[in-house]
Structure 1
């Protein structure tokens, strides 16, 4: 009974995109591990930007640094 948790920043992921993620991850588990789709769980959590950090800084600052070539 696989359980997959996908975390994304809360930036407008559409219901259609979420459906594609769920279907795609489920299909990978079917193809690679021969798991049943009926017992495969995929959960998508949306995280606010201020609650996500990369490299010791909030994601918004990380992106600013990357855009500036840092």
Structure 2
């Protein structure tokens, strides 16, 4: 059973996450020939201040 892990900044809507899960599930199912029911998707949301990019917190590079 394939598992897809997505780490992304917090703040996306439930609908956006639902769309992402559906799209990743469908693409994986088609690409490797497994049923959609066997694909797991786990989304981990990370606060920008806990994500570093090029030596700086993402919260400073991408302020809201």
TM-score (norm 1): 0.81
Gaps of 5+ in 1: 65-70
Number of paired residues?
63
Gaps of 5+ in 2: none
Higher Cα radius of gyration: 1
The runs of at least 4 consecutive aligned structure 1 residues that moved more than 3 Å come to none
Q: RMSD between aligned alpha carbons?
A: 1.3
Q: How does 1:1-70 map to 2 (within 5 A)?
A: 1-10=1-10, 12-63=11-62
Alpha-carbon contact 1:4-1:42 (below 8 Å) kept: yes
